[in-house]
Structure 1
Amino acid sequence: MTAMPDAVSPEQPAPAAPTATPPAEVGIAHPISAGVVTALVGFTSSFAVVLTGLRAVGASPSQAASGLMALCVTQAVGMLWLSRRYRMPLTLAWSTPGAALLAGTGMVAGGWPAAVGAFVVVGLAVVLTGLWPRLSRLIAAIPTPLAQAMLAGVLLPLCLAPITAFRDSPAAVAPVVLTWLVLQRFSKRWAVPAAFGVAAVVIGVYLVTGDATLDTSTLLPTLELTVPRWSGQAMIGIAVPLYIVTMASQNIPGTAVMGAFGYRVPWRAAMAVTGIGTVVGAPAGGHAINLAAISAALAAGPTAHPDPRRRWVAAFTAGCAYLVLALCSAALAALVAVAPAGVVETVAGLALLATLGGSLVAALADESDRESAVLTFLIAASGVSILGIGSAFWALLAGLAIRLMLRARPFRRTTSPSAG
């Protein structure tokens, strides 16, 4: 991984947002609508991945719904404070790659309480990253090809789900895939949200025909707290890769996106807010929140407002919108729980295709690291578990070892001047 950009240097204060002279006719409604769109796209495009990941590591349907609600609330509060305090369009998100990692990891020793304990440790590590520059540099020193190869390997089984689901349930899955394909042609931003909308219609048809039943008592949002438990397997198998993926695939790219629009992220404050938010939300089931990366452009770009000084309103509005969406978390989780086999997995897989593509490109871009990156990818994709620890950890460990071996200088035997 390349050196930490100036945008995330802990020693630098955050300056004011860049200035510009706005057109007089642009009012407050513009950034407000941009903020609502940011929240809707961020939520609907990946909440199915979050629910899938939480269920995979042992959460019950109600605990997964609680986790989704906790993520919405903690990132909303973080956005409200950061955007208002720094007058920047600082948007937060849950760790979608982290949720995909959980889906590939599965249950660990200690079950759901151990997973919650790992979430707490991740939050503490993020806070420490903001306070301790050396840890920031250590994370930045992880080779980008290996980190992205590990992520790609984790994502591959999830991205294959639409194919197997289409084979098993073509009538239920085909409308979802077709909708996604059409929107890919005309409006990529809304492709996954539209696909979930069609999936919701499919679920509704199953409910009407009696093929599924919905327990109305599960529609109201509730927080279900779990006492964390700490186990070595959960720390190595969940906490370490989740922390690395969240930092390498979300926080550091998020600062780069903001830098592209002329903003320098207040690194310590951002890490403190997202780390503390993760710790607070963990007992309720939230796995990790972080700086938004891809969706950050929706609030930080010129489409939010011509004047960069006014774009913070978009991030503030996104925070308010997430508080509203938090109230819908239980109902959406209930719909997902009664969905026909393969439908939700299809939506999640489609949502992750762009991330998979980007990870593969970054993993294979450097020819000198290609062999170690490919092996890292294959080990992560294998899903192999050793000593109860998932494949993501072993993939990164093996990739680093192979890279070190391939880059080591060959031993050269020297002869003594007096010889011969």
Structure 2
Amino acid sequence: MSQVSATTPEVADTPAGIAQPLGAGVITALVGFTSSFAVVLGGLRAVGASPAQAASGLLVLCFTQGVGILLLSFRYRIPITLAWSTPGAALLASTGLVVGGWPGAVAAFALTGVLFVITGLWQRLGSLVAAIPVPIAQAMLAGVLLPLCLAPVQALRTSPAVVVPVVLVWLVLQRFAPKWAVLVAFATAAVGTGIDIVVNDKNLVLAEMVPTVEWTAPQWHWQAIIGIAVPLYIVTMASQNIPGVTVMRSFDFDVPWRPAMLVTGIGTVLGAAAGGHAINLAAISAALAAGPAAGPEPKRRWIAAATAGATYLVLGLASAALVTLIAAAPAGTIETVAGLALLATLAAALTGALSDPAHRIAALVTFLVAASGTTAFGIGGAFWALVAGLIVRRFLPSGT
């Protein structure tokens, strides 16, 4: 007697079969949002955004990536998920103010989106990015991340009463439930902030918790374009888009490259004026919607991606409230959450940067220049780090 497999359409169509991808989709969005929204807000504020403009940026990022996920997952019936560029946000945090201020940064965001579109239409550009040695690209990212990952240590001096519980909770969850470590750490920070607000009688303005879109007219400055747009494009391609394709292939899904680049590029351009820095293919969180956790039937996992897209639209409504909470938090609290969220990324970047002896010295130079935050001619350290690494790699003989 034949039995119906657990992966057949008959079972997949049952409420239980639908519940699994739906639940996985919600978790995908929650993990993606809570693990790095503090990094995004920190990056936008660093390049000149006001609290309202940073909240607007977070809102539009949620909206553009949510709509993009829905379009791609429904059209191709595969679990394609998008995300904001967390490494890109970390890059912004290390870059700081550029020539032209916030309007100059907005122009750089828009140009980054244009580069994504060109990458989808012109394969040669994508090949050029892929030709950058991976260790050098990873070293640039590691150098950008290092100052942010030092934040928890520095915050122990300024706000120990709040920061110590956050770090301890994160450490315990890393041991027993690493997927939830950052989420629970943020919840702990929120509780600590709430207590601090009550104890110190801080006033929160409810009107500031309503999400709004703050438009900014871009101003074009070549220093901002070279200092933000170029490294933002490279780090997003190398750390998000290309790995995102690899992660999907590991689950036997082929990402439609051109449509994906067009959707993320156009979404980035449209969101730039409202403060969104970049959206891209998800890499780490992609596994949550594309893997077995989203259901035993691969053909139904697109439902998880679509659910994640819809969830992002809802999460965007919390952007203004989060910014208001962060503004009231003790010094270093949110920076601690962001730094803890980026530790795994830093470890992976350092491993990728130093694992190949043929590129080790060039990668080390790249890392040091990026970590130094050196600025010259109004251009941030990430760009100069890439230039320095490529020059050293060209000059030194292979294997040095």
Q: TM-score range by the shorter chain?
A: over 0.9
Separation in structure 1 between the aligned mates of residue 190 and residue 22 of structure 2, nearest angstrom? 27
Q: Is contact 1:83-1:315 (8 Å) kept?
A: yes
Measured in 2, the distance between the counterparts of 1:407 and 1:313 equals 51
1:176 to 166, 180, 195: 166
> What is the number of residues matched between the two proteins?
390
The code of the aligned residue for 1:401 comes to: I
- 8 Å contact kept, 1:122–1:239: yes
Residue 128 of structure 2: aligned partner: 138
- Counterpart of 1:150 (choices 119, 137, 140) is 140
Amino acid of the structure 2 residue aligned with 1:403: R
Q: Indicate conservation of the 8 Å contact 2:268/2:279, yes or no.
A: yes
Match of 1:378 in 2: 368
Cα gap change, 1:368/1:408 in structure 2, threshold over 3 Å: closer, same or farther? closer
2:293 is paired with a residue whose SS is coil
Cα deviations across residues 114-147 of structure 1 (Å, max 9, x unaligned)? 0000000000000000100111110110100000
Equivalent residues in 2 for 1:110-259 (5 A)?
110-210=100-200, 212-259=202-249
1:71 aligns with 2:70: no
* CA displacement, residues 37-90 of structure 1 (integer Å, 9 cap, x when unaligned): 000010011000000000000000000000000000000000000000000000
> What's the counterpart of residue 388 of structure 2?
398
Structure 1 counterpart of 2:22, from 11, 14, 32: 32
CA contact (8 A) 2:21 2:303 kept: yes
Equivalent-residue separation in structure 2 for 1:35 and 1:101 (angstroms) = 28
Cα distance in 2 for partners of 1:149, 1:301 equals 29
Would the aligned equivalents of 2:22 and 2:303 in 1 still touch at CA under 8 Å?
yes
Contact 2:109 2:229 in 1 (8 A): yes
Q: Give how far 1:213 is off.
A: 2.6
What does residue 10 of structure 1 align with?
none
Pairs within 5 Å for 1:226-375: 226-375=216-365
Which amino acid counterpart does residue 235 of structure 1 have in structure 2?
I
Give runs of ≥4 in structure 1 deviating > 6 Å: none
Stretches of structure 1 lacking an aligned partner (at least 5 in a row)? 1-19, 410-420
Structure 1 equivalent of residue 4 of structure 2: none
* Pairwise CA distance, 1:272: 0.2
CA distance in 1, matches of 2:51, 2:328: 10
Q: Using the alignment, how far apart are the partners of 2:85 and 2:327 within structure 1? A: 21
Unaligned runs of 5+ residues in structure 2 are: 1-6
Q: Distance in 2 between matches of 1:124 and 1:293?
A: 21
Do 1:261 and 1:300's aligned partners in 2 also have CA atoms closer than 8 Å? Answer: yes
Q: How far apart are residue 338 of structure 1 and its match?
A: 1.3
Higher helix share: 2
User: What is the letter of the counterpart of residue 64 of structure 2?
Assistant: T
Question: Between the two proteins, what is the percent identity of the paired residues?
Answer: 67
Q: Report the residue type matching 2:152 in the other structure.
A: P
1:290 alignment partner, SS class = strand
Q: TM-score, normalised by structure 1?
A: 0.91
Q: TM-score, normalised by structure 2?
A: 0.96
